[in-house]
Amino acid sequence: MSDAHDTHAPARPDLAAVEVIDESGGDLSRSEVILKGALAAGAAYGTLAVSPYVRRALAMGSGSNGGDVGILNFALTLEYLESTFYKEAKTRAKAKGDLKKLIGMLADDEEQHVEALQATIKQLGGKPVAEPKFDFPYNDTAGFLKLAQTFEDTGVSAYNGAAPMIASKEVLGAAGSIVQVEARHAAAIRLQNGEEPAPAAFDPSLDEAQVLKAVEPFLA
């Protein structure tokens, strides 16, 4: 395993306890070049800031399963949010036709993500976090779509930011299979909004603190 997988960091039991990882070190110059395009891409996503991959990657989490459980619980909270959001939207979004079908599919995918993450956390000997209460402020289809785009883009960036901290290759592969689905959702929602479905060549990534900031307004 790489050095980064060997460093110790405490598990992150839930969103409220996320750490702001602010260490740096290692070969910054190399990574800066590798990620130049990615870092430049942030503007395309508006409010979604691009976080410093490199510091985060090199200050990664624990090599123990505790670390992975923390990351999985963090992901679970996001999936709770998305799952609840789309479940509600089946009636609240006032959608018709293709969009109504899309919402049904998204709700189903996110629910499967929730179930899979809960089961995997248990398999790893952890305890899945409880589902928080959410409050989604929208009154019409346009309002729904705007929030959906924020959530899907944030989901992609959250997984992309957290994945390099995952110790288990199996968990990493599985997180990868989820993030690709989130990216596909994001593109579909962006098409619905008449926006560029893949606005940049490199999807930005977010660290936990940034994700928390993005979803905090929707925690009731």
Partner 1 sequence: MVPEATKTKVSRRALLGVGGGSAAAAAFLAACGGGGSSTMTGSTTSPAEGGAGKSETEQFGKGDLGILNYALTLEYLETAFYADVVKSGLFKGANLAVIKKFGEEEAEHVAALTAAVKQMGGKPAPEPKTEFPLESAKAVTELAGTVENLGAAAYLGQAANIESPEVLASALAIHSVEGRHAAVLNTVLGTSITPDGAFAKPADAKTVLKSVEPFIVG
The site for partner 1 (CB under 8 A) is made up of 1-2, 4, 27, 30-31, 33-38, 41, 53-54, 57-58, 60, 65, 105, 108-110, 112-113, 115-120, 122-124, 156, 159-160, 163-165, 168-174, 176-188, 191, 196-198, 200-205
Q: Least Å distance between CB 113 and partner 1?
A: 6
Residues ≥6 apart with Cβ < 8 Å to 203: 38, 41, 156, 157, 160, 183
CB of 126 vs partner 1, minimal distance in Å: 12
- Kindly tell me which of 16 and 191 has the beta carbon lying closer to partner 1: 191
Nearest residue (CB) to partner 1, 139 versus 171: 171
Provide, rounded to whole angstroms, the least separation between the CB of residue 182 and partner 1.
7
Q: Smallest distance, Å, CB 101 to partner 1?
A: 11
Of 15 and 179, nearer to partner 1 (C-beta) is 179
Nearer to partner 1, 112 or 134 (CB): 112
The H or E element spanning position 152 is helix 141-162
- Torsional sign, CA 71, 49, 39, 81: positive
Distance CA 208, CA 20 (A): 7
26 vs 143 by CB, closer to partner 1: 26
Q: Residue 114's closest CA among 165, 150, 155?
A: 155
- Cα Rg, the chain, nearest whole Å: 17
Alpha-carbon dihedral of residues 4, 8, 9, 13, nearest 10 degrees?
110
Burial class (CB in 10 A: 0-12, 13-18, 19+), 173: exposed
Min dist. Cβ of residue 9 to partner 1 (A):
13
Strand partners, 219: 134
Report the nearest approach of partner 1 to the CB of residue 139 (Å).
Answer: 26
- With tokens 């959250």, the residue in question is 158
Nearer to partner 1, 139 or 177 (CB): 177
